[in-house]
Structures are given as structure tokens and as C-alpha cells.
Amino acid sequence: MLASDLPPGEKWRKFELRALGLRDFARVKGDQPLNPFALAHFANLIIVDFDQLKGLSDEARQHLLGPAVEKWSGGACTLPDGRKLVILNPTHGRSRTNATLMEEICHVFLGHQPNRLSVVTRDERGKVMSRDYRKADEEEAYGVGAASLVPYSSLKRFLRQGKASNQIAAHFRVSRELVEYRMKVTRLWNDYKNNVR
Ligand SMILES: [Zn+2]
């Protein structure tokens, strides 16, 4: 690997190295998109269909898919045998779901310990199942997950080729927002903005 394959900033370089390790583990090469669903199994994650959830009241279900639908993207809880159950918001598209699942996978691979095991206790506050880890762990899991989905060296190359963020997003099967977040944290954003104008 070349030093130029890593982004500036110590934290983001660390995240990138972890992400490259995950991509390696998933046998994803070069600019190939990473499919988190193919990795979930290795992280001991069981993905549960929202519609299969039992013990959720009709009110809770209607709340989660109605007024609160934009307020949660997924959640996880740990089973007694150490496996983790992950529930994904069924109304979010594949690109958002990929980022959500990748974050959950990263929590596992990074060895984060949840603060709590409860799954649906926070729905009245609209924060359902979304923050079960320490804030620093959340940042790391999201950052490493995003870097796994959109690696810096590919992002930089695509931008040099004149690709737009939505084209890059389509390639990696993530949202345009995630691609632009990656550009910002790896300091490619200003170049990109100057080029598109
Ligand atoms: Zn998280």
C-alpha cells in the first residue's frame, strides 16, 4: 500500500486501515463495492426482517413505520450466546441500509461493548435502537463502516476521473450523502467543489 492511499489526519488514517482490513477480509478488491450482507454472517449478526418481529405492539409498529420512520435506521441486541440480532428499517432503500448494516458490523469487528441491551425502550423519544454504544464508538463504527464502503484511494481516483458524487454513490451502492461525507472527512471536498464549478 502507498502512503497516498491513506487520507490525511491520524484518526482517518486509522479508520482507513481498519476499513481496508475489513475489505481484505471480505475479499473485496480495488474499487469493487463491498456488500455488507455478505459480511454480516462473519460478524455473527443475524438480520431479522422487521415484519417478522414478534412482541411489538401495533402502536409501536405503527409508530416505527409512521411518525418515527425517519428517526431510526436499524438496531441491534445481543443474544445470550453472543450473536447479535440486527433489525433494519424496511422502508429505507438499499443504499441507506448498506451504511446502517456496515455500522453494526463494525461495532462487532471493532469489539465495541454495548452500553445497554434494550432494543425498543427509547421509541417515545424518537431515538429507537440507534445509540447503544459510547459516542466515540459510534463515531468509529460509522467512520470505519463508511471507509469500508467508500475507500479513500478509489474515491480519490474516481474524483480525478471527473466522476460526480452520485455516480460514485451508484458504483458503491451507497447514498450520495455518504460519498460526500467521505469527501469531507478525507479533505477531498474542496477540490471536488472547485472542479464541478
Ligand atoms: Zn452504532
**The pLDDT of residue 197:** 53
As separate numbers, helices (DSSP H) first and strands (DSSP E) second, the chain gives 9, 3
Phi, psi dihedrals of residue 43, rounded to the nearest 5°: -90, 10
Going from the Cα of 127 to the center of ligand 1, the distance in angstroms, rounded, reads: 12
Going from the Cα of 153 to the center of ligand 1, the distance in angstroms, rounded, reads: 25
Going from the Cα of 106 to the center of ligand 1, the distance in angstroms, rounded, reads: 8
Task: Dump pLDDT digits (tens) for 17-39.
Answer: 999 999 999 999 999 999 999 99
CB 174 within 8 A of CB 99: yes
Going from the Cα of 113 to the center of ligand 1, the distance in angstroms, rounded, reads: 11
Instruction: Report the predicted TM-score, pTM, of the whole model to 2 decimal places.
Output: 0.84
- Characterise 82 by phi-psi region: left (phi > 0), alpha (psi -120 to 50), beta (else): left
Going from the Cα of 2 to the center of ligand 1, the distance in angstroms, rounded, reads: 30
Cα–Cα distance measured from residue 186 to residue 149, given in angstroms and rounded to the nearest whole number: 14
Nearest to 152 by CA among 175, 180, 176, 186: 186
CB 60 within 8 A of CB 120: yes
Going from the Cα of 133 to the center of ligand 1, the distance in angstroms, rounded, reads: 6
What are 108's strand-pairing partners? none
Task: Dump pLDDT digits (tens) for 75-129.
Answer: 777 788 888 888 888 888 899 999 999 999 999 899 988 775 444 444 444 444 4
